Structures are given as C-alpha cells and as structure tokens.
Chains A and B, each alone.
Chain A
Amino acid sequence: MEVNITINGSEHASDVEPRTLLVDHIRRTVGLTGTHVGCDTTSCGACTVLMDGKPVKACTVLAAQADGSEVTTVEGLKGADGLHPIQSAFTDDHGLQCGFCTPGMMLVGASLIAENTDPSDDEVRWAISGNLCRCTGYINIVKAIQTAAARVAESSNGS
C-alpha cells in the first residue's frame, strides 16, 4: 500500500506491505538508522520517534498508521542553527554511554521540554519512564533533560 510520511521535513512516499512497522519503514525503507529497536513488547522505548509532535514507540505503530503524519527522528533534532539543546545537554552532562537508548530518550526529553521548561526531577523521571537505559542509571539523563530545559527557558526569556 501507498504511504506518504513526512520525516524530518522531507516527504517519503513508498509502497509498503500493510504489516510494515513504522520503525522498520524508517530504518530500512527510508534508511534512517538512528531509531533503534531494543525489544519486542513496546517496553524499552529505543524506537521512540515524534509523530505529529508526540512521542510514539515506532515498533508498535504501523507505517500505514503514520500515513499523512509528520515524524521526527533523532536525525531531525538538529536545526539550522545547530544542535538541539537536548543534544548538547546530553553530551555536557554525560547523559549517554552506549548511546543505544539515547535517540529515544532525547526525543522524549525534547517533547517534555516543549511543554515544560522547568520540569522537576520527578516530572522528568515520569516522562522517561517508558524508556529503558541499562548504562546510566538515569541520573545523568535526568540532569541533561533539566539542563536542556533550563537553556531553552533562558533563551526564550532572553529573546
């Protein structure tokens, strides 16, 4: 079947099997491999992308269901003026080790910050509780999301 999905601002029209998962479509058909697969039960969140601005687990969405939507993957986080604040904060605060969960964590973090530029520790932890990390113990991920939020708040106050 024909699906037309806007991924990171570019339209991708493709003929896919109806059963094709969005994550497989993104990785194999479109060739963006920053979105990862870490489980088969929608538990780990490594495949998280933003669909029309909201985080979804792309292993549990059919490509067909994403037809007509706008999808942002980790490759689309960076803007014309450089890295998204969440990306630089993850580096600055050592929010990643192996980097496998990182795209999902950053996208959830970016989505949280879009609504709340002063999230508490608990608010961040709740927001990322659908994403698993085996390396960091989450401490520096939480810190990075809060750092990014503060930087976004500061720059919007300044402008």
Chain B
Amino acid sequence: MVAPTTPAEIGGIGHSVQRKEDARLIEGQGNFLDDIDLPNTLHMAILRSPLAHARINGIDSEAATALDGVVAVVTGDLMDQHGLAWMPTLSGDTQAVLATDKVRYQGQEVAAVIATDPYIATDALELIEVDYEDLPPITTPQQSLEEGAALIRDEKEGQTDNLAYTWETGDKGATEEAFAQADRVVTLETHYPRSHPAPLETCGIVADVNSVTGQATIYMTSQAPHAHRTLFAMVAGLPEQNIRIVSPDIGGGFGNKVPIYPGYVVATAASLLIGQPVKWVESRTENLISTGFARDYYMKGELAVTDQGRILGLRVNMLSDQGAFYSDAQPTQFRAGLFHVVTGSYDFPAAHIDCKGAFTNKAPGGVAYRCSFRITEASYLIERLVQNAAYEVGIDPAEMRLRNFIQPEQFPYETATGFVYDSGDYPTALRQALDAAGYEELRAEQAAAREEGRLVGIGIAHFTEAVGAGPAHTYDIAGLKMIDSAELRVHPTGKAILKLGVKTQGQGHETTFAQIVAEETGIPATDIKVIHGDTDDTPYGLGTYASRSTPVGGAATAMVARKIADKARHIAAHLLEAAPEDIERTADKFHVAGSPDQAVSIQDAAFAAYTNLPEGMEYGLEDVTYYNPPNLTFPYGSYVVVVDVDPDTGVWKVRRMVALDDCGVRINPMIVEGQIHGGLTEGFAMSSMQWITFDDDGNCIGSNFMDYLIPTAWETPRFELLETVTPSPHHPIGAKGIGESATVGSPAAFVNAVVDALAHLGVRNIDMPVLPDRVWEAIDTATA
C-alpha cells in the first residue's frame, strides 16, 4: 500500500474515507428510478413474444384498449407511423422497437399498454391477441450459418444469410510462420456461455415530455446519460437542448444499463403522444430475457509452443451468437470489442484472430458485462490455453507463465495485436500470489492427495486488461469520441462542487472523485459535493463502463483540479505579495518558498477569488477539463484458486482464493477492495452457476432468479486480497481502474483449478459453468 500524502482531515488519495453515498442509502432515502413519482404518471407494460421465431399476421388490441384505466395500446404499426418501429444499434445494425413483421426471439417487444396503474397495464396485456405464424427457430450460431438455414433478418436489405459480421485482426502470415516453427500446437475449444449482468435493480425509465414546451425530461437507469441524450436526439429527432436525461441512483449496472432498449423508446414516444409522464420498470424476467446479455462466444484457440515452454504465436477462431440483432455496445471500429488483447501478459511476436458473428433467434445485446468490451472472453481463453500448454509441455503452469511473461523492462510493450501496455511487473505479482497461497506446498499436497484418490486443484490466472477507452484517435461510440470531463467550482467559503461526465452505479464516485480534488487542491474531501448523472447539470462525457471512470473521468478531475490549484496559487501569490513562481503548495496551504509561515489556505484563496484578485484576473474559481487519454490503461493481476473436487459427485468447493491486483494508484483502498470482492464473486458466478441457456424451441431457460442462479452469501467463497502498485505512467494520478479486473481475471482461475484437479486424468477442458454433472462426466469419460 502507498502511504497517503495528505492528512486524514483532507482525505486525499490513499485514504479509505467513508462513502458520501452511504448516508442516504442506509436510511432508505436513495432515489432509484422506480422511486420517482411524478404527478399524473402513466404506467407502461410490454407484451412480449412467447415464440422465438414467428410471423405476425395481426394484432387485436381492441379488448385491451377498452379496459378501464387503459389509456393506449401501442403497436409496431403506430410506432412505424412516427418512423420509430426500428432503431439503430451501437454496432451499425437496426433493431426492432416494436415488432411489425416478425418476432425474432422469445421476449421480443410486440406491443405496449399505457395505463393509469401498473396492475391494470399488466392485466391489459392478457387481452391483446396476436396472430402468430410459427417459423423454425434457430438457436445456435452453428445452425444459423448452415447452408439453407431460415433467414432471420429477411427485412434487412442485402442480407442473404445469417452472418452478422466478420472481423479479422493480427498478422496471419507471421502467425503461420510461428506455427511452422513450433514443436507443438496446443488447442482449446471452449464456449464462453451466454450470461447476464443482472444488476439487482432492473432497467427502467420515466419519460416526461412536456407537450407545451417540448422539453423532454427522461429519468433513466443510464450508465451513459450524455451519450444517451445525443442518441435520443439522433433517433427520435428531438432537439438535443430540449432533452434532459437524469440518471438517478442506480442499483448496479455492470454493462446492462449501457444500451438504449426498445422500452425506453416506446415510453418516450408514448409520453410525447399522450402528454403525460410514462413510467416503465422492467420485471426481472423482462430483464433477463430481453436486455443486455453478455459473452456467448465459441472460441478455438491454438498456441504454438516450443518444448522449452516458449510461446511463439497464437491463433484464434471464434463464432459469436449475436441473437436477432447485432447490438453490441462497443467502440465503432472493433467488431468483437477489444478481444485482441487475447495475447494476455505474454511476450510473443505473432497472433491472428478470425471472428464471425451469427444471428440467432435469441435476445440481442452483447453488452460488456463488467468488462471492457470482450476482454473477459480474451483473458479467459489465453489463461486457459497457457495452463493447458504447461500440461502438454510438461512444466508447471506457474513456471510456464514466468517463462513467457512480458518483463518489467519491456514496458511500454507493444503486443502482437497492437496494444501498447503502459506498465507492469508481472513476475513479482505472480510470485507474491503464489507465495501467499503456499504454492509449493499445495503442489506437494496435490500429489499426495492423488495417491489417496482425492482431487485437489490449483488454478492460476494472470490477466492483463485494456481499460479506460479511450484515445479519441481510436475509440468512439456511434462516432462520439470516448473522452470525458470534469467541471469544478470552488465557492467563496472554500467548499466545492465537482460535476462529472461519468456516472456511478455503486462504485462510489461521489467519494473517490472528491478525494482526487482533495489531493490536488487541499480542499477536504468532505467539503466537495459531486454531481453526476444529470445532463443539464454536468459536462459532456461518454459515461461509466469499460472501467473508464477513473482512467478518463478521474484524469479529467485531476486535471481540472490542477487548473484550480494553479489559479489559487496565483491568488495566493497576490495575497502574500510574492511572485507566483515562488509559491509552493503543501497538502492544504500555499506558502512562499522557504517561508512556510507565510502561507494562505486554499480557502483563503477561494474567498479572494470573489473578493480580492490580482489585477487583470477573472473573478471566480471555476474550470472545466475535457480529457482525451493518450492511451488505455492496463491493470493486471495474479489469481490463485485452490479447489477440492468430490470425485463421486463432481461437486467442487473453493478452499482458497488469493487475488493480487495491480490497478496502479489506489484512490480509496476500501472501495477498491470492495470492487474486487464484487468482481471475484461475479467471476465465481460465471464459472460455477450463472448462464442463460435455451431449449431447441428458443425458450429462454434462465428467465428468473430461480433458474438463473447467482451466488448467495452461502456459496460465495472467501477471498484473500493482495496488491502491488505499478502506476500508469500516462495517467495524471497513476490510476488504472479496478471495477472489472476481478470479473475479467477470475473465471479462468476457477476453471483452471477444477481442470487442474483432473489434469492427471487427461482432462483439459470443462465448459463454464463448471456444473457438478459436467465435472462428473469429465471424470467418468477420462477414467472409462
């Protein structure tokens, strides 16, 4: 841990200060979307398709419309009259808002009821009759790309098959050369299953369009309110200055609250047409079956290695299941997000990735679930492959990694796919994690256990993330460059208001961003109010996902605070009757160099900013910074998991989980650790129980929390956390971001641990979730 440079009463970087957010949340005074209750609010419920693929021959909404309390029934035809039956997606496709021609997945939006009461709206759904004509459902991407498969996107001009996209990156020739030189090729074929972020609060909207003023105030569970405002303006044709998006307290996001969903568009259109506020809050089932799935990649990875355990090259072929619409939320140029970070923490010269995506009769989404755009899949693949390569070469999996790591002196390091990693010391991190776990002893125990017929597994994952998108030259969402901003105003009494373009969903921005300002200005963190989420009251930004708040918004905050501190230094010089260049700043004061007694506080300078300025200086102490990061940041970590596997049942239990994270400088260590705890739990969830699956008819199995299992306190392992601190050299405060590391890095560690327990039997893969029956089957097959 790095010692803080400010005293506790300032609460700058490195202090585990208590969260400002907590006071309202522990007393039930949070303001979540469903808590917003505007006068005359109408309630919306959505009729969803029970079928995965069917033509709509007609919709009879007469009985529903006649129900007492129903104000309107909205269908695709009505939306079509306003040009809103379809909307663009963030990946250049279009998506149905309300179905007009066909339904293409179970749960797709078909009609919406607007009523005076939510119970009545739901009642009315049952009175709508839809005449469906069954079409054959396609439930896997493999089926989808077969010759003669039914065309899912028959409405799409020029679309003659079910291919959603193709994408290729890396150097194919160099990779082939590397494989030609290899002593052996280690292959892993695995499916990273469909998952869902499932934040505890579902998605929702209260759309309040004033028919007189044209003002649209849209309360929305939004991780990216500014981007959403611009997209609303583009899609709905509303003037952007008349759209105000307010993202209130958010009950978890994890990527689920990045896209714009059909329900938002329908509710806004309904409010515009009716002239009253319209509220729609998803049920959990709606959330799980229709919004923001993640992953669903079929991956084949091949590693070219020498008999000495050196990696020479990597080849990946992937097929992604996009669902009915290609609506991945990701930067424009990257068809499979930042998957090309798949070279991981290793130094080798050649890689090639070939990827295609297929339409299926499943929900669209493709969100980066607690992940910087497909990095989770990439990290999983390389860490599984390296582990398997160790088995094939016959060396220890830890040693395999140590032989191939990018070395500390190689940073900045350009990977085979073009990322330039900023900083790291991977060998130290792995060695510390191994020591903490007692790795040597564990291997000895494992060998002894095998003699007794017991199964003990030790799984390692050493991941490197690429987060904080990002430099404007490379990263944009729908054309909007992925910069972010901060605006800081210090008032005459020395208290400050910081306004952010990013938006918390529980990460604690109101606390940590105040700490950055405290560090840079000396204003106590408790004196700084952080405002975010309201587009009329905050500077523009692309929002919070892909671990970009601290790398981009945090950098903007540090930079604007430095501007303020610099102006305050000039004011201090004036007050001290000294030259500005002779003024030095301590944690909370400005003083004349060499004369610490001749000092003024930041509060004195703030008061003078409104009362007593040097000649020619503009009044006030306020500024704004738009930050365009020079590069991504690259947090990393070494995780070690120990499991005991019951050979008779396939049940596995995590005995220990040691997680070392290096996210650069830690602003609030308490909050960082909380982020890691949560991320590890979601990694455990994906590896052990959490998946969305479908039957052959396209029925979603996993449509509620009885079928879509997320771990309770009872199943969740205990975690032991470690840290190293390698600052990012290009980030103003050296921070790299931490929100997603543990979710990205840990699934491979858990799965590697179970596979390691069975490795001596020849087992090399069990797909996630690693359910006991799959483990049992792997043992049974291997020992048959």
Residues of A whose CB lies within 8 Å of any CB of B are: 17, 19-20, 27-28, 31-41, 43-44, 46, 73-75, 77-78, 83, 87, 90-92, 94, 96-103, 106, 124-126, 128-142
CA–CA, A132 to B250, complex, Å?
16
- Which has the most chain A C-beta neighbours within 10 Å: B284, B670, B673, B675? B284
Known: A33-B34, A129-B712. A38 touches B27 (CB 8 A): no
| Nearest opposing residue in chain B for A43, CB measure | B705
Contact of A139 among B26, B202, B719 (CB under 8 A): B719
* Cβ A140 vs Cβ B28 within 8 A: no
CA distance A131 to B713 in the complex (A): 8
Residues of A within 8 A of B508 (CB): 97
CA distance A157 to B19 in the complex (A): 30
A34: chain B residues within 8 A (beta carbon): 27-30
Residues of B within 8 A of A20 (CB): 119
Which B739-771 residues sit within 8 Å CB-CB of chain A? none
B5 at the interface (CB under 8 A from A): no
Residues of A within 8 A of B704 (CB): 39-41, 43
- A38-B712 in contact (CB<8A): no
A contact residues around B505 at 8 Å (CB): 98
* Chain B residues numbered 6-27 whose CB sits less than 8 Å from any CB in chain A: 18-19, 21-23, 25-27
Identify which of A73, A94, A136 contacts B19 (C-beta below 8 A).
Answer: A94
Chosen A-B contacts, 18 in total, with CB atoms closer than 8 Å, are A19-B119, A20-B119, A27-B34, A31-B37, A35-B28, A77-B27, A91-B18, A97-B675, A99-B21, A99-B25, A99-B251, A100-B201, A106-B26, A125-B712, A129-B714, A134-B682, A135-B252, A138-B713
A134 in contact with B22 (CB, 8 Å): no
Q: A44, A97, A136: which contacts B705 (Cβ < 8 A)?
A: A44
Chain A residue with the shortest CB-CB distance to B712: A129
Q: What B residues does A27 contact at CB under 8 A? A: 34-35
Q: Which chain B residue lies CB-closest to A130?
A: B712
Interface residue? B198 (CB, 8 A): yes
A28 nearest CB across to chain B (Å): 8
CA distance A131 to B705 in the complex (A): 11
Decide yes or no whether B674 CB sits under 8 A from chain A: yes
Give chain A nearest CB distance to B126 CB in angstroms.
14
Contact with A43, one of B28, B199, B706, B718 (Cβ below 8 angstroms): B706
With A38-B202, A94-B19, A139-B677 in contact, do A99 and B249 touch (Cβ < 8 Å)? yes
B586 within 8 A of A: no
Q: Which residues of B contact A41 (CB under 8 A)?
A: 284, 704-706
In the bound complex, do residue A97 and residue B506 qualify as a contact, i.e. CB atoms below 8 Å apart? yes
Write the nearest CB–CB distance from B606 to chain A, whole angstroms.
29
B68 CB to closest chain A CB (Å) equals 13
Across the interface, A90 reaches (CB within 8 A) one of B22, B199, B670, namely: B22
With A41-B706, A43-B706, A126-B714 as known contacts, state yes or no: A98 contacts B674, CB within 8 Å.
no
A100 adjacent to B713 (CB under 8 Å): no
B669 → chain A closest CB, angstroms: 10
Across the two chains, which residue of chain B brings its CB closest to A97? B506
A137 and B682 alpha carbons, distance in the complex (Å) = 8
Contact B32 A134 (CB under 8 A): no
Q: A40-B284, A41-B706, A46-B200 are in contact. Are A75 and B27 (CB under 8 A)?
A: yes
Q: Cα distance A147–B721 when bound, in Å?
A: 20
Contacts of B37 in A (CB 8 A): 28, 31, 33
Interface flag for B285 (CB, 8 Å): yes
Taking the complex as formed, is B601 at the interface, i.e. its CB lies under 8 A from any CB of chain A? Answer: no
Instruction: Indicate if B254 sits at the interface (CB-CB under 8 A).
Output: yes
Any A CB within 8 A of the CB of B671: yes
> B27 — which chain A residues lie within 8 A by C-beta?
34, 74-75, 77-78, 83, 87
Q: A39-B704, A125-B713, A140-B674 are in contact. Are A134 and B252 (CB under 8 A)?
A: yes
Note all chain B residues with C-beta closer than 8 A to A28. 37
Q: CA separation between A139 and B710, bound complex, in Å?
A: 16
Are the CB atoms of B252 and A129 closer together than 8 Å?
A: no
Neighbouring B residues of A130 by C-beta, 8 Å:
712
Query: Which chain B residue shows the least CB distance to A86?
Result: B26
A36-B251 contact given A94-B670, A98-B201, A136-B677, CB 8 Å threshold: yes
What residues on B are CB-neighbors of A73 within 8 Å? 28
B351 to chain A, nearest CB (A): 33
Q: Identify B713's interface contact among A35, A87, A142, CB under 8 A.
A: A142
CB-defined contacts of A75 to chain B, threshold 8 Å: 27-29
> Does A132 contact B705, Cβ atoms closer than 8 Å?
yes
User: Does B535 sit within 8 A of A, measured CB to CB?
Assistant: no
Mark B276-314 against chain A: 1 for CB-CB distance below 8 A, else 0: 000000011100000000000000000000000000000
* B651-693 interface code vs A (CB 8 A; 1 in, 0 out): 0000000000000000000110111011111100000000000
Chain A residues with CB below 8 A from B678, complex form: 97, 134-137
Q: Tell me if B407 counts as interface (CB < 8 A to partner A).
A: no
Complex formed: what's the CA distance from A142 to B714 in Å? 11
What is the CA–CA distance of A92 and B23 in the complex, to the nearest angstrom? 11
Residues from chain B with a CB closer than 8 A to the CB of A44 are 200, 284, 705
Tell me which residues across on chain A come within 8 A of B200, comparing CB atoms: 36, 38, 44, 46, 98, 100-101, 132-135
Answer yes or no: B143 CB below 8 A from chain A CBs. Answer: no
Q: Tell me the bound Cα distance from A56 to B386 in angstroms.
A: 48
Asked if A137 contacts B681 (CB within 8 A), the reply is yes
